[in-house]
Structure 1
Amino acid sequence: MAMESTPNIVGVDLFCGAGGLTHGLVRGGINVKAGVDLDPSCRYPFEENNEAVFLERDVNDLSPEALAPYLEQGDFSLLAGCAPCQPFSSYSQSGRSKKRGMDWQLVSNFGRLVQGLQPDLVTMENVSQLAGHKVFEDFLGYLKGYTVRWSVVECIKVGIPQSRRRLVLLASKLGAQGLELEYDPAVPARTVRDEIENLPPIAAGEQHSQDPLHIACSLSEMNLKRIKASKPGGTWRDWDPELVAPCHRKESGSTYPSVYGRMEWDVPAPTITTQCFGYGNGRFGHPVQDRAISLREAAMLQTFPQSYKFAPDDETIRFNRLGRLIGNAVPVRLGEVIGKTLVNHVRMTQGEIAVPSPAHHGRLF
């Protein structure tokens, strides 16, 4: 039997951030040529870990002509991205200086670029809430002439060790065959233990000598007492009364049961957010070590490889900046599944491979 060839699909990643989606697409067989983001902090991790050009541009002001040369370098073209939705994201916050207010311009401009470039393939990853807004219906209107598949994906089903739900859209001018994410339902969900148990232990406030990103925030004396009193999977309600914060003693505080929590080894992590490095910001305590998870652990729970570099080794680690890059990223594994799906879709539509047996695949769409 002849070996299957990998179709030459070239792509551009809009709103590329630190490169999570790009890195995953590349692993899945897509040749990403460029990433676009207006945050200059994204340049180093994007270019250091991916063989692609970083374009520091605002997608709202970007013309199709500026991206066309990158999409003309292959046999098939892909426009990809996670368009931050203003009411749900930090795109207009620190590091992204052009504040646009509570609107949906970024999604609409993604659609405008699709309409102007007419790539063979389109993928958009986004917050699950987007599906309930008119802007998503409007975005679908930009995809006339495409076969479109979309759904809300439970990330644990595709090998991401997080309780995270994301909208994934795939669109193609090549047809419908194979245009659906596939997963093996027999594979167990990955857990916190699977991802980070083998990292060397560090204390709160400590940075590992061999990995600058394996660094944990310092804890106050009170928070050190609190985390020592915390059980994996428990809450602040497990503590002795003198450890409970005054705001939680009030009736209104009962609505925040998931702050000051520890992760559990043998279940997926909670959704990794931009504040995941802070013990008091959610269930971000390490399962057994008396500290919040490190930035490296957060990145690995986002399925970045342990070797992924977010800052030069000699640069001072800034938790807020790197936490934002990590928390805002598309999980690499999700990008890889999308990439593999699109590669197989092109193979199928070009008659290179047969449709896979449904006995070996589960469908998310």
Structure 2
Amino acid sequence: MTSTNPTISAVDLFCGVGGLTHGLVRSGVNVTAGVDLDPSCRFPYEANNDAKFIERDVNELTAADVSAHLNGGDYSLLAGCAPCQPFSSYSQSGRSEKAGKDWRLVSSFGDLVAELQPDLVTMENVAQLASHSVFKRFLKSLKGYHVHWSIVECTKIGVPQSRKRLVLLASKLGDIGLDRIDGIDSPIRTVREEISDLPAIRAGEQHPADPLHTASSLSEINMQRIRASKPGGTWRDWDPELLAACHRKASGATYPSVYGRMEWDMPAPTMTTQCFGYGNGRFGHPVQDRAISLREAAMIQTFPRSYKFLPEGETVRFNGLGRLIGNAVPVRLGEVIGETFKQHVTAVESGLSSSGRLF
């Protein structure tokens, strides 16, 4: 039976706080459940998405655990972004296939695809994954699918940060439209457009109306450094007495963005798990003398300003929340993936209804 508005039911593996899920939902995909091992993801996932949080290790997940949640739509979608630490250029450890559990998660995702045979599959991950054999093995698990994958520069789809991600789309229905994501060229969205209307706060301060709009404290020397920092500049602009010991080493010259300020009218750098720290990259606010707040980092990841990350009254902990925000799939990327699949299944339905066969 064909439909003018075919529905997609999805399960999001490695769902985290719900970046991919929230984007898929915005596009019209019905995400019924998200799976993640981290219990701290439960509140933000369920508080912002009408989906069930399943606290499980994907390595131990069975097809039976997932299959019931894929029912209910005209088409089924299995989605996920396995933890990327072994592949990331930010990680200097665990870079071989002996890195352990995280390597196996990609294979476990592939095993579930092979067993469940959903109509649609998407995987998002760091660009470096494309050069590893584990990705080639994942592609083999997609036998019988039409597959398209590419490295997406997120600024081209409206994400206000420089972030290159591997995006894979697969369908058992046909290949029409799967490459749509490569043709999107949205206007560049800037730091100013994303966060400039947030209230000003000081380093170490929390805004009373939004606990997530809180900035880490700065030592006196770091306060002097940020006052000497220009938007888009480097520590080379400072007076010599402000230089840190690492800057004086030859290796320090290769990290000019450390202790840097963002620029208002440019995209932000890639949000990392340490994006709340002034000394961890170009995470200084463009004009205020502080690092960006956790709320600002979440908004640069394209989470809505109203997205809830903590139950009311719970203490904000920078390391924990920074990890959850930095590891998230940008919501806008999830939305584009969902839009691509929605257009794909609509085209499939049109092809079937007009000719009685698939293309």
Q: TM-score under structure 2 normalisation?
A: 0.92
Q: Which residue of 1 aligns with 2:152?
A: 153
Which residues of 2 match residues 309-324 of structure 1 at below 5 A?
Answer: 309-324=308-323
User: Do the aligned residues in 1 keep the contact of 2:155 with 2:162 (CA within 8 Å)?
Assistant: yes
Q: Closer, same or farther in 2 for the Cα pair 1:135/1:313, shift >3 Å?
A: same
Q: Which residue of 1 aligns with 2:142?
A: 143
User: Do the aligned residues in 2 keep the contact of 1:204 with 1:219 (CA within 8 Å)?
Assistant: yes
Q: 1:117 aligned to 2:89?
A: no
User: Do the aligned residues in 2 keep the contact of 1:303 with 1:332 (CA within 8 Å)?
Assistant: yes
Equivalent pairs, count: 344
Deviation per CA, 1:140-188: give whole Å up to 9, x if none: 1000110000000010000001111000000001111111234776642
Amino acid at match of 1:311: L
Distance 1:194 1:272 in 2: 17
Distance 1:116 1:70 in 2: 15
Amino acid at match of 1:286: H
Q: TM-score under structure 1 normalisation?
A: 0.91
Q: 1:72 aligned to 2:71?
A: yes
Deviation, structure 1 residue 101:
2.8
Q: Which residue of 2 aligns with 1:36?
A: 35
Q: Which residue of 1 aligns with 2:53?
A: 54
Which residues of 2 match residues 211-230 of structure 1 at below 5 A?
Answer: 211-230=210-229
Q: Closer, same or farther in 2 for the Cα pair 1:5/1:211, shift >3 Å?
A: farther
Amino acid at match of 1:227: I
Distance 1:300 1:44 in 2: 18
Q: CA RMSD in A?
A: 2.0
Q: Percent of counterpart pairs with the same letter? A: 72
Deviation per CA, 1:216-247: give whole Å up to 9, x if none: 00000110000000000011111000000022
Q: 1:346 aligned to 2:345?
A: yes
Q: Closer, same or farther in 2 for the Cα pair 1:113/1:217, shift >3 Å?
A: same
Q: Which residue of 1 aligns with 2:180?
A: 181
Question: 5+ unaligned residues in a row in structure 1: which ranges?
Answer: 93-98, 355-365
Moved more, 282-291 or 76-85: 76-85
Q: Which residue of 2 aligns with 1:270?
A: 269
Q: Which residue of 2 aligns with 1:193?
A: 192
Distance 1:352 1:289 in 2: 55
User: Do the aligned residues in 2 keep the contact of 1:87 with 1:102 (CA within 8 Å)?
Assistant: no
Q: 1:285 aligned to 2:289?
A: no
Q: Which residue of 1 aligns with 2:206?
A: 207
User: Do the aligned residues in 2 keep the contact of 1:148 with 1:170 (CA within 8 Å)?
Assistant: yes
Q: Which residue of 2 aligns with 1:233?
A: 232
SS in 1 for 2:230: coil
User: Do the aligned residues in 1 keep the contact of 2:157 with 2:185 (CA within 8 Å)?
Assistant: no
SS in 2 for 1:351: helix
User: Do the aligned residues in 1 keep the contact of 2:157 with 2:186 (CA within 8 Å)?
Assistant: no
Amino acid at match of 2:104: Q
Question: 5+ unaligned residues in a row in structure 2: which ranges?
Answer: 92-97, 354-359
